[in-house]
A and B are shown apart, each in its own frame.
Chain A
Amino acid sequence: MNDRRACDRCLKRTWLLARLSGHLDQARGRAEEVLELADTELLAALAGPRRGAVAAEYERVQPRAIRHRVGAAGLEPICRCDPGYPQRLLALSSPPSVLHVGGGLERLLEIVSGEPVAIVGARRASGYGLEVAGSLGRGLGSAGVAVVSGMAIGIDSAAHAGALDAAAHTVAVLPGGAEQPYPPGKRSLYNRIRGAGAVVSELPPGTAVRRWMFPARNRIIAGLSAATVVVEARERSGALLAAARAVELGRAVGAVPGRVTSPLATGPHRLLTRGATIVRGPQDVLDLLFGCGVRTAPAQTRPALADDLERVLRKISDGHDTIAALARAGLPADQALTALSALELAGYVRREAGGRYMVVP
């Protein structure tokens, strides 16, 4: 099944990372520096008083057994010594020793050899953020650009789902073992991604998720992608780590603006003040990747609107986004209901929690 695309040494390192997972968690503030260490240094730095025993275990580990376990979990490994290993990842200070791939190694390599874009953001996102992430995924997907993200709830999942809706490729980088979904509730999304793209992890199958793995995972997301777009992020969001990594690698960074009063907009706005590119839709990302106007996002096919509906749509964009608010803007409730329904059917607006209507980008 795997024709030796992962060498013994690299496989042994994945074993070591999994073995020292608990110790790495203690040092999670500096996880990325620690990951740069070689195996023996890792042992020395982390294993503490049990380092002798762990070192002996490490010596005894059979790469063949590891390889077997990976294969049995339905994953394909590729290590950083393989010439096919994603070139962009090698630019990281600590490229993952092995990528464990579900859904097809060749497909993953083909996807990441193109110009994939990372879309990352908050887990507790707003309806606006989810909508924008979904439409970025759809728009980029239909322009032939793959989406890389972390399959977390919120923005990540919305971006994956958008790409899948456009029948495009998408790659999910998981924190723990790639043979099962994380978070576990995302099983159906996980299966769709495995079916139409790839799921990837740095850690061997069966590794339980720990906190240090999230920043580590974010570096892989940024590393695999030609550009990183942050949709919504609070003050100390992991999405900002991915953006910081992308900056270090000299990759393009984009951010979607939000409302200045919203804590979810803090992250993107900070990135924007520091020179990130403003992302208002898929076209901005395409311009960022390929230069202005080189590639265009296929226009969405929506029926043209009658004048009165156009006016209502404009009112909604202006913030009169509930039936009550439209009534205040001079549209009686019965007419508002009819118009909102017509707009919703035509795909221009969507009803959100609490009866707010949102303009679909």
Chain B
Amino acid sequence: MLARVCTFTIDGVDPRQVWAEVDIRSGLPSFTIVGLGDAAVRESRDRVRAAIQNSHFEFPQMRITANLAPAFLKKVGPGFDAALALGVLAASGQAPADALNRYAVFGELSLSGALRDSPGALAVAEGARQAGFPRLIVPRERAREAAIVEGVEVVGVSSLQAAADVVKGSEVPPLPAPEPDTSVPLPEPDLIDVRGHAAPLLALQIAAAGGHNLLLDGAPGTGKTMLARRLPSILPAMSRSEAIEVTRIHSVAGIHANGLIRARPFRAPHHTISPSGLVGGGSPPRPGEATLASHGVLFLDELSEFQRSSLDALRQPLEDGAVTIVRAQRALRFPTSFILIAATNPCPCGFAGVDDRCGCGEAELRRHRRKLSGPLLDRMDLLVSVQRPTEDELREPPAIGSAQARDRVAEARERQRERLAGTAASCNGEMDAREVRRHVRLDPAAEQALGDAYMAGVLSVRGRHRVMRVARTIADLERCDRVARGHVLTALALRQRTGSETALAA
């Protein structure tokens, strides 16, 4: 007899539908699984057999062939166990095969027959909804996460026995109560803690408002990291679809299990990270830090200490908002739309520009600059220097709190959304050259200032577009429809200086 059960595999961070087909016929007792599975799938046989027997079902002593279709798709991980086991039960008449057609099933089995926690339930729930399944069986630990997706009834069960009971028609168990959050919430970093740092504060708001990448440059201990950590606090709240995407990614990566993520991600990988750690990779390919930072902030501290290859790997993600990983004739696409914020010392010793303490020679400076320069800096819209605040500034009241800044940012983003409706860009930082020309209206004095800068040779063509994007954001923050001279001048002061535009040192 033949039965088939719908399940899903995670391809990158996206769900792909897989049919677990089970055929049982008379012959020498055997159990084979075909369909391009990995080692975990092959071992599934033994888990499924033991789980069925330990759940007080009968494991048919016949010839069992299971196929995971489509056969071309590589199936990874133990998430097919539950589907295979239910397939065996249905094919041997121990569960109703026609009722099973209404279910998608996902989860790993233990030998005892318990359904084990398996990462990626949110992605699976999205797949089940798209494929039109009314009900989804997942491990109980993952039920709340899967239930974020609307339009699918999530059945969170803790054993194969319970899953079979539901299929047979018993009542769907209620979702588990949300785990009481026992951890003491850490105070979110807030701009209210910042004293002094007038220019960096402005740059942070511009970066948040326009989705611009920002480079902080300053001597050790001046507060670069402290400032960078406060960027997420002034970004507008995520939309539901953004939140679901973030939750899905983090769930697939196995670093989140409980409900919808609401806070924007902030990822700060250490500078020893490998290229595949940063943009994703490995076998099976897993999302990297760039993907985990999607819709949030990726912070690279000590930018010049990162391997050149890691930084180069960030080019495509920054350019396209996604990274494509090719493994064994398969191309996977990981989304990567984040704001990049990086911090660096102005020179190897860190003290260039602070009195005459800097002891770096011209050659060292050039090496430092070369390490930083190039395509990555080319994608950084903003450069701001961070100086040590003075004693007086430390005693002053804070300039602005995160809540207030977030309101400003949200309003500026709203203006951009209206202007950019119907284009691929959602904020000024994402505008391409054509959109810059179309949407950035300069008044004559602003045009003049930009022209002067271009004539003076301090701007490349690309740099010119960068300045226009940033100027547009500054105007949005000030609720201006046209970009005025002051906006362009501010953008010029915050411009990234690459190549001949003398980057970071004299």
Q: Which A residues form the contact surface with B (CB < 8 A)? A: 123-127, 130-131, 153-154, 185, 259, 261-264, 322-325, 327-328, 332-334, 336-342, 344-345, 347, 351-356
Contacts and interface: CB of A to CB of B under 8 A. Distances in A.
A338 B491 CA distance: 8
Contacts of A354: 217-219, 346-347, 351-354, 385, 387
Contact of B199 (A153, A337, A351, A352): A337
13 contacts: A124-B361, A261-B355, A322-B353, A334-B202, A337-B202, A337-B494, A339-B489, A342-B449, A344-B458, A353-B353, A354-B219, A355-B218, A355-B387
Contacts of B389: 324
A16 B297 CA distance: 66
B453 interface: yes
B192 interface: no
Given A153-B362, A341-B449, 16 more contacts: A264-B356, A324-B197, A324-B199, A327-B196, A327-B199, A328-B392, A334-B490, A337-B199, A337-B489, A338-B489, A345-B452, A353-B353, A353-B504, A354-B353, A354-B354, A355-B218
Given A126-B356, A336-B199, A323 B385 contact: yes
A127 B506 contact: yes
Contacts of B489: 337-339, 341-342, 345
Contact of A355 (B217, B452, B458): B217
A205 B390 CA distance: 56
A262 B357 CA distance: 9
B36 to A, nearest CB: 55
The 7 closest A-B pairs by CB, nearest first: A354-B353, A355-B385, A333-B198, A353-B352, A341-B489, A127-B506, A337-B493
A263 B356 contact: yes
A352 B362 contact: no
Contacts of B360: 124
A81 B384 CA distance: 60
A124 B352 CA distance: 12
A235 B197 CA distance: 37
Interface in B464-497: 486, 489-490, 492-494, 497
B447 to A, nearest CB: 13
B480 to A, nearest CB: 13
A337 B358 CA distance: 25
Contacts of B202: 333-334, 337
A354 B384 CA distance: 9
B365 interface: yes
A327 B202 CA distance: 13
B493 A338 contact: yes
B359 interface: yes
Contacts of B494: 337
A241 to B, nearest CB: 20
Contacts of B390: 324, 328
B415 to A, nearest CB: 19
Nearest to B495: A341
A328 B387 CA distance: 12
Nearest to B387: A324
A332 B449 CA distance: 21
Given A262-B356, A353-B352, A356-B353, A345 B217 contact: no
A185 B364 CA distance: 12
A262 B356 CA distance: 6
B393 interface: yes
**Interface of A: prevailing SS:** helix
B233 to A, nearest CB: 20
Interface in B351-391: 351-356, 358-363, 365-366, 384-387, 389-390
Nearest to A342: B489
A323 B198 contact: yes
Contacts of B71: none
Interface in B310-328: none
A323 B199 contact: yes
Nearest to B354: A354
A351 B503 CA distance: 10
B363 A333 contact: no
Interface residues of B, number: 48
Interface string B414-453: 0000000000000000000000000000000000010011
A123 B362 contact: yes
B406 to A, nearest CB: 19
Nearest to B360: A124
A324 B354 CA distance: 13
Contacts of B361: 123-124, 153
B506 A154 contact: no
B364 to A, nearest CB: 9
Interface in B183-228: 196-199, 201-202, 217-219
Nearest to B449: A345
Given A355-B384, A355-B385, A355-B387, A332 B362 contact: no
Nearest to A158: B506
Nearest to A322: B387
B41 to A, nearest CB: 56
A336 B386 CA distance: 15
Contacts of B362: 123-125, 153-154
A234 to B, nearest CB: 11
B456 interface: yes
Interface core residue of A124, A185, A332, A339 (most chain B CB under 10 Å): A124
A127 B361 CA distance: 12
A353 B355 CA distance: 11
B346 A327 contact: no
A226 to B, nearest CB: 28
Contacts of B354: 354
Contacts of A154: 362
A131 B502 CA distance: 14
Contacts of A185: 363, 366
Contacts of B273: none
Nearest to A258: B356
A347 to B, nearest CB: 8
Given A124-B359, A324-B199, A345-B452, A338 B218 contact: no
B505 interface: yes
A247 to B, nearest CB: 27
Contacts of B493: 337-338, 340-341, 344
Contacts of A353: 346-347, 352-353, 358, 365, 504-506
B220 to A, nearest CB: 12
Contacts of A127: 353, 506
A264 B347 CA distance: 18
Nearest to A303: B452
A153 B363 contact: yes
Contacts of B353: 127, 322, 352-356
A160 to B, nearest CB: 14
Contacts of B356: 126, 259, 261-264
A113 to B, nearest CB: 33
A323 B218 CA distance: 13
